Amino acid sequence: MAATEKEELLKKADICYRISVALYFTLLVAMAAKVVWIDPPEGSVWKILLIAIIPLLLPVYGFLKRQPRASAWLCFIVCIYFTRGVVNVWIDMTAINEWILTLSSFFLFISAMMFTRWQGKANNQH
Mean pLDDT, residues 47-74: 95
What was the pLDDT predicted at 124? Answer: 87
Residue 46: which residues within 8 A CB-CB, separation 6 or more? none
DSSP letters, 63-80, are: HHTT-HHHHHHHHHHHHH
- The whole-angstrom separation of Cα 96 and Cα 89 is 9
Q: What is the pTM of this model?
A: 0.91
Q: How many CA atoms lie within 13 A of 73 on its CB side?
A: 14
Q: All domains of the chain, ordered by start, with CATH? A: 3-124 (1.20.120)
Q: What pLDDT is recorded for position 126?
A: 53
Task: Give the SS3 label for residue 107.
Answer: helix
Query: What are 61-73's pLDDT values in tens digits?
Result: 999 999 999 999 9
